[in-house]
Amino acid sequence: MSESQKDPLELNQSEELNTADKPVEATAEEAQREPVEEAALVNHTEEEQPAAATPVQPAKQPMKAWPWMIVSVIAIIALIVVLVRESSGNTMNGAVGELDGQEITKAELYDEMQKTMGDEQLGATLDNLMMLKMISIEAEKTGKEVSDADIDAMLKQVEKQYGFATDADFEQALVSSGMTLDSYKASQLVPQLELRLVFEQKLAPTDEQLQEYYNNNKDAFATSPEQVQASQIVLETKEEAEDVLKQLKQGADFAKLAKEKSLDTTTKENGGDLGYFGKGQLGDETVEAAVFALNKGEMTDVVESSIGYVILKVTDHKEAVIPTYEEAKAEVKGQYLDEQINAGAADWMDEAKKELGYKNYLTKEDATAAEETPAPSASASAEPSASPSASPSASANP
């Protein structure tokens, strides 16, 4: 993916959509959650001790970046869409507003936008608009259409992937960024679904390829991720931890020792209970690897971590619920195609621009311009030709 093709939308942990700094390659093997802060393991302050253990909550992941988007000013694009497309009249003299009895025309709006944004930024916005039209043109050639059911299904996958419990929660995050659900569908979901149609026809993935992709990325299709419930005791030194571990192996009560000795003021009063958490949520790979390797009722040895020396006991272990290939086939194909799009969209767009005669008068980009062939160098032109006809005659003369 080229650096110029970036997604302006990114979802942070406060459920807001912001301008992205760089493209995100969305693959099926990406972690489904961001690590929670290390304070989830231990909190050395005495503030806000809960009365009951609070389960570790999934953190929000950056919103997937579609490969065809570029960085631009969201508010300006929204202004173009709302005021220009939906205003009365089909010419640049059409009114987009009125003040003191005088109409404000599309032409005046465009002139002001050009002054404010400059040709480069306005040209980038034009490029974005032309990219969307190009995708729609190429998708139409496949003879298939994106249905409302396709859009709704993809929206559900997005909400699931980024941890939104309800449609209302997701819509609120969009509102926080100045977007509506309809504009998100039109600017994000529909073009991506159209690209899937294009790349499905271009690549024609076989059932064997999709089955292999599913086998290599099963965790990505889990309807419920693998989770562990564990309790912890955090100690300052290895010697202290080894002593506590010895007591535990001799039959001491884990919850009692956690209350007496753990440095974790957040969980010690609850016997060290961390609640349920999935992979990638503890913020410490060493601790996580140790605890996920255990079965219910088993206990780790002393584990050194960034917060101290930790002993964990698994009180429950839920395996991931993964649908069969046949059950997840539609989602498998979608994610497979998304990966192929991320890898090949830039080259595809270059070719489509040439085919459709792309010309952006603001950025001066002309995809139809013939590439100049370098002229032969003087030294090269001075050298005798080594043509097949010359070789025999040369060999015939000693």
Res. 85: pLDDT tops 80: no
Residue 117 has pLDDT above 50, yes or no: yes
Instruction: Give 322-380 pLDDT, tens digit per residue.
Output: 999 999 999 999 999 999 999 999 999 999 999 999 999 989 999 998 655 555 554 44
pTM: 0.63
* Per-residue pLDDT, 225: 87
Reported as a single tens digit per residue, the pLDDT across 137-179 is 999 999 999 999 999 999 998 888 887 888 899 999 999 988 8
In the predicted structure, residue 123 carries a pLDDT above the cut 50:
yes
The whole-angstrom separation of Cα 338 and Cα 326 is 19
Q: How large is the average pLDDT for residues 250-254?
A: 96
Closest CA to 113 of 142, 72, 146: 72
Write the burial class of residue 70 (CB in 10 Å: 0-12 exposed, 13-18 middle, 19+ buried). middle
| pLDDT confidence of residue 369 | 87
The predicted model gives 386-391 an average pLDDT of: 40
pLDDT at 376: 58
Residues 97, 100: Cα–Cα separation, whole Å:
10
**96 pLDDT above the threshold of 90:** no
Choice among 6-15, 121-130, 221-230, 321-330 with the minimum mean pLDDT: 6-15
The pLDDT mean for the chain works out to 77
Task: Please determine, looking at this structure, whether the domain spanning 227-318 carries the CATH number 3.10.50.40.
Answer: yes
- Region 68-72: mean pLDDT is 38
pLDDT per position as a tens digit, 258-271: 999 999 999 999 99
What is residue 226's predicted lDDT score, i.e. its pLDDT? 92
Residue 205 has pLDDT above 60, yes or no: yes
Which of 2-16, 71-85, 113-127, 275-289 shows the lowest per-residue confidence on average (mean pLDDT)? 2-16
Average pLDDT value for residue range 210-229: 93
Q: What residue segments make up the domains of the chain, in order of their start?
A: 10-24+64-220+324-344, 227-318
State pLDDT tens for residues 184-198.
999 899 999 999 999
pLDDT of residue 91: 74
Contact status, residue 356 vs residue 137, Cβ threshold 8 Å = yes
What's the pLDDT at 307?
A: 85
Residues 271-314: pLDDT tens digits?
A: 999 999 988 888 888 999 999 999 999 999 999 998 899 999 99
Q: How far is CA 18 from the centre of its chain?
A: 13
pLDDT, residue 370, reads 65
CA distance 381 to 218: 60
> Could you tell me if 294 and 300 are in contact, meaning their C-beta atoms sit under 8 angstroms apart?
yes
pLDDT tier at 92, thresholds 50, 70, 90: confident
3-state DSSP of the chain: CCCCCCCCCEECCCCCEECCCCCCCCCCCCCCCCCCCHHHCCCCCCCCCCCCCCCCCCCCCCCCCCCCCCCCCHHHHHHHHHHHHCCCCCCCCCEEEEECCEEEEHHHHHHHHHHHHHHHHHHHHHHHHHHHHHHHHHHHCCCCCCCHHHHHHHHHHHHHHCCCCCHHHHHHHHHHCCCCHHHHHHHHHHHHHHHHHHHHHHHCCCHHHHHHHHHHCHHHHCCECCEEEEEEEEECCHHHHHHHHHHHHCCCCHHHHHHHHCCCCCCHHHCCEEEEEECCCCCCHHHHHHHHCCCCCCECCCEEECCEEEEEEEEEEECCECCCCCCCHHHHHHHHHHHHHHHHHHHHHHHHHHHHCCEECCCCEECCCCCCCCCCCHHHHHCCCCCCCHHHHHHHCC
pLDDT of res. 200: 97
What is the per-residue pLDDT for 6? 37
Identity of the residue numbered 213: Y
Question: Which of 17-21, 203-207, 231-235, 238-242 shows the lowest per-residue confidence on average (mean pLDDT)?
Answer: 17-21
